[in-house]
Amino acid sequence: MQNRIFFPQAALDQWVVEGQVELAGNQLTIIGEGRRYRIAEAVRVIREVSGTPDQNDVLGKVKSRVFFEELGAEILEDSMIIGDNAYEVKTGWLGAPTVPLQDHVRERQSSGQFTEEPKTDEDLLARFLLKNL
């Protein structure tokens, strides 16, 4: 399965202002790494707050906003209601790389842009986050 990453809206807003990432349509580019992701609106479920058992089995998961809307969810800022359940959530974007990591690394190496080759998408993202958090 292809790696995916959740980009919280607040972090993305900050990175856009700082010029660390670029958004164009449904594509996000991490400028310093040149890594591109197809993105879709998403919601990360933090916790159930009503005390009702999580009958929807969404606790701790990240799903597209469309998925939750199809479940009948009402989402407002950092809260979501599905039936009798109320959840604390984080809104943002779910990203999937536009090309496999190996192709990305080959392209960057051939242009002399990588001094140390990342082994995984996680390495690449960790490098970006360490520079920008």
Nearest residue to 72 (alpha-carbon basis) of 62, 84, 60? 84
pLDDT band at 1 (very low <50, low <70, confident <90, very high): very low
Check whether 3 has a pLDDT greater than 90: no
Can you give the pLDDT at residue 107?
A: 73
Amino acid at the residue 15: W
- The pLDDT tens digits for 72-131 are 999 999 999 999 999 999 999 999 998 777 776 777 666 665 556 666 766 666 666 666
Residues 62 and 44 sit within 8 Å (Cβ to Cβ): yes
Q: How many other CB atoms are found less than 10 A from the CB of residue 58?
A: 22
Containing domain of residue 120, as a range?
5-132
Total structural domains within the chain: 1
End-to-end CA distance of the chain: 28
Can you give the pLDDT at residue 88?
A: 98
